[in-house]
Amino acid sequence: MHPFTYTGLPARVVFGQGTISQLPDEVAALGISRALVLTTPGQAKQGHQVSDLLAGVSAGVFSEAAMHTPSDVTDAAMAAFADRNADGIVSIGGGSTIGLGKAIALRNDAPQVVVPTSYAGSEMTPILGQTENGKKTTQRTLRVLPETVIYDVDFTLTLPAQMTFTSGMNAIAHAVEALYAEQTNPVLSMMAEDGIAKMVDALNRVQAAPQDIGVRSDALYGAWLCAVCLGSGGIALHHKLCHVLGGSFGLPHAETHTIVLPHALAYNAPVIPQAMDALKRATGTATPAGALYDIARNGGVPTALRDIGMPQDGIDRAIAFTLENPYFNPRALERNALTELLTNAWHGTRPEG
């Protein structure tokens, strides 16, 4: 017998096609009378469409969400929330927008409805990462967990090819670490393996049929499973490295996860035999780290940190930040081995594990 603790997080999920039509009812169910709609600048048009759907319940659109949730953007959003007499949040977008909604909720307990348009998964987690003065910090609190999530496959049909692959890899990373994080348990392991398998299969098919409802449904379902793993499980070296790289060097979130994941997995592979067995089944290969690298390469997305703006002379600084406040990891963090990991990731070398 292997004792374990599993915590199921409270969240209402509406999954399907055309489910955005249920948004007004879901907003009303939370008692929201004035909903501030959040987006990034690039998704402002979608934000206004959602605002129109809400009609008189909308408090307008705030479309300045940014990567890594900068504190100054949150300050501006809080001012808009107050000026427009909002009492709730509708976030439509990926991790940047959802992160901003969480940051607002942390400060004022506003109820949140989230409409994800990518596979990032932040919508199912009580985790918030914020950046201030060039340093990203994370915290875990139920105050930021969205109350309702509306998954509408239609919003993913036009997801650009590059974003599909990087966002999908980001989702896979959540489930990979759930297999060997400190809070791992049989329930999460089952969801993680299925989530990875669904997403890997979808990513292998999506280039040939980017608007296929079945493919996109599998990807979105897999992303949801992976997100639950992140929310109810834990994280380890991979996420620590990505938090450091993103916050310290301004690297794009999903691309950083895509590049680092195969290398972080290869680092831990020697000490996680059960997790590796699950990953072999989920990827259908004997070398899961290499298989994940190949998905990114075949998808035409960056596989080297140097290609997304990471300076080579920043490797030592990244390792220092990682060791300064490390997360749990199944393998001890060794400076020389971490240097090799990040050097390989900087060059884009394919891992063998």
Q: What is the pLDDT of residue 137?
A: 85
Q: Would you say 218 and 206 are in contact if contact means Cβ atoms under 8 Å apart?
A: no
| DSSP output for 151-184 | EEGGGGTT--HHHHHHHHHHHHHHHHHHTTSTT-
Asked if residue 178 has pLDDT above 80, the reply is yes
Domains in the chain, CATH or no CATH each: 12-156 (3.40.50.1970), 161-347 (1.20.1090.10)
Whether pLDDT at 2 is above 80: no
Given a contact cutoff of 8 angstroms between Cβ atoms, the answer to whether 196 and 292 are in contact is no
The contacts of residue 317 (CB under 8 Å, 6+ apart) are 248
Residue 316: both structure tokens together: 């030592």
| Terminal C-alpha separation, the chain | 29
Query: Helix, strand, coil proportions of the chain in percent (round to 5)?
Result: 60, 10, 30
Mean pLDDT on 231-252: 92
Q: DSSP secondary structure string, 216-262?
A: HHHHHHHHHHHHHHHHHS---HHHHHHHHHHHHH---HHHHHHHHHH
User: Would you tell me how many other CB atoms lie within 10 Å of the CB of residue 161?
Assistant: 13
And the tokens for 119?
């596979």
Dist. CA 215–CA 329, nearest whole Å: 33
pLDDT tens profile 10-64: 999 999 999 999 999 999 999 999 999 999 999 999 999 999 999 999 999 999 9
Of 222, 300, 292, 228, nearest to 260 by C-alpha is 292
pLDDT of residue 1 exceeding 70: no
Unique residue bearing structure tokens 């109810």 = 232
The chain-wide mean pLDDT, for the chain, equals: 95
Cα dihedral 196, 200, 167, 134 in deg (nearest 10): 60
3-state secondary structure of 69: coil
Percent of the chain with pLDDT over 70: 100
Overall average pLDDT of the 228-244 stretch: 93
